[in-house]
Structure formats: C-alpha cells, structure tokens
Amino acid sequence: MGNHQSGEQHRRGEQRGSGKGSDAPPYSPGVRAGTGEGGGAFTFDKLRPHPKLHGQQSEDEPVTLRSAKGGKENEDPIPQRPQPMVIQGNRKMLPFVIKWSGGGGNVAIAGTFNQWQTIPMVKSEKDFVAIVDLPEGVHEYKFLVDGEWKVVQGEAEVSNAMGTKNNVISITDTDFEEFENALLRDPNDKSEEGDKAKEKKDKGDDDFQDEYSQDIPEYQQSEKMRGPPVLPPHLLQVILNKDTPISCEPTLLPEPNHVMLNHMYALSIRDGMMVLSTSHRYRKKCVTTLIYRPIE
C-alpha cells in the first residue's frame, strides 16, 4: 500500500511539472495560458482613477457661461430656477374673535372657512366667544343656538342659495399688517418713538442714498426698539376658562394646543387664595395640574 501511494504521488508530480519547464509561472485561474490575458473565472481590473469632485452650484447663485476659445465669462447669466408656488396650506391665517350675545345654552359657529363644520363656543359671562383662524378673503358664517341656525342682527349679511341669510366678513391684506403691528407694539411705551420706528419701517430703503457724497448725515439719536407683546394671542385660549360639556366628565378638559404646554397660568387672587395651573404632555395624554395656595 505504501509503495502504491508513493508511486501515485510521484506521477502527479510529473504531471504538474510537465509543460514548458519548471520555470513557468504558476497557474492562475484569471489568466489564459500563454497569453497573459484575462477571461477565466476571476477578473482583476486595473485601478481606475477616482473621479474629480466638482463644486455644485447653488440654486440661489446665477450661473455664468465661459467661452470655449477665450475663456472669458459671458455677461448674460442664466436665469435662476423659478421658485415653487406657495401651497394653500401655507397661507397666512389671522385669528379672529367672533362673539354671540343673543343668549342660549349651547352655541356653536360654522362657516365657509371650515366647510360648515360646527365649532363649540366658550361662554364668557353672558356672551359666547370663539377664536377662529381666517385666511384672506370673504367668509360666510352662522350660529347654531340650541339646535337653531341664527345670525347676528346689525352685522353684514348675505343671502345664500337656500334663501336664508348668513353673516359675512371680509379679511384683507391690511388686516394682517395691523395685527402684526399690534403684536409688536409695546403697551408700556407711550412716547412717539414707536410711531417713528413704524414710519421708518414703512419707508424701507428710500432713505439711503444711491451715490456716495461728502455730505455728513444729520445726527439721530438711537430709537428705542419695540419690545415683545405682553402675551401672545394663542395663550389667551386657556382651557380652564372653557365650559365642560354636560356629556363629559367634569375632570376631563379639552385637548390643549401645543403652544399652551409647559406654561404657568395664574388666576386672580380671590378670597385670599392663589390658583396656579400648568399642562404637560406624557406621550399621548395631557395632564393639567392645579395648585392652590392661601395668601394672608
């Protein structure tokens, strides 16, 4: 057995050594015999040079063309890419306060601004109040008082296709400017500097000269910057001031807006008692905590 194995190994060694001699390079599966070219099971490509990185032109910067012969820049830049149009969901909305003084126990409001979906109104002493966000345009609305549709007498009215009347309100672009100026106005500033700042804002860049000159401008004192509003309008909708519907439990409150969270609210001191409240969100639930403290 041992001689047979040694003889077989010897014959295999002769077959491996047969060919062009012992100096031939070893067999490679990726190289054809005698040619040095690939074509086997494995292919070893040469290293390719890495592509050069080119700077990407910004959309806001104009693109200039260079001449192929002289290499000079063309004076006419390529126009910028047109900006996308503003979608309807990004329209400016103006918070508008609607009041109903005709009495009733359960009052809601509906209009063209929300496809006539009823919005419950909050009772404030003898009136019912609701704050709705209205875009620019003409809007019709109506009140649902104890299951009966009514309009406010004395306000602007318009007849609809069914022959009934609806109240109408018009929101213009100037209303947004007045609302922004009201938010920027500091109620503690009773001087005329606030009006001067507004006039300067309206003028814009008209006061700047187009050319350089040797004239020294007049000295002007620094104007007082208008401070932030005392209270943002969204924080006026306190959920503790809203009436709880009869069908709900008294411990359940309406879902607060996200801007109302993590704020401290204080009630006017009555009978020597201070009441504080705050709302926090825990995953999908909101919890409002009331703190009572006696004051001597």
Does 201 reside within a domain? no
Does 25 reside within a domain? no
Does 242 reside within a domain? yes
Does 128 reside within a domain? yes
Q: Are the C-beta atoms of 41 and 27 separated by less than 8 Å?
A: no
Q: What is d(CA 181, CA 134) in angstroms, rounded to the nearest whole number?
A: 18
Statement: residue 252 has pLDDT above 70 = yes
Q: What CATH number does the domain containing 110 carry?
A: 2.60.40.10
Q: What percent of the chain has pLDDT over 90?
A: 5
Total of domains in the chain = 2
Q: What is d(CA 53, CA 234) in angstroms, rounded to the nearest whole number?
A: 50
Phi and psi angles of residue 142, each rounded to the nearest 5 degrees, phi first: -155, 160
> Can you state the percent helix, strand and coil of the chain, rounding each to 5?
20, 25, 55
* Residues 167, 96 share a domain: yes
pTM to 2 decimal places: 0.35
pLDDT tens per residue, range 16-42: 444 444 555 555 554 554 444 545 455
Statement: residue 65 has pLDDT above 70 = no
pLDDT tens per residue, range 77-109: 444 433 333 334 566 777 778 889 888 889 999
Residue-number span of the structural domain to which 165 is assigned: 90-174
Domain end, chosen from 174, 194, 223, is at 174
Domain end, chosen from 174, 192, 208, is at 174
Nearest to 151 by CA among 191, 111, 92: 111
Does 54 reside within a domain? no
Q: What CATH number does the domain containing 240 carry?
A: 2.20.25.290
Q: Is pLDDT larger for residue 188 or for residue 281? A: 281
Q: What is d(CA 113, CA 95) in angstroms, rounded to the nearest whole number?
A: 12
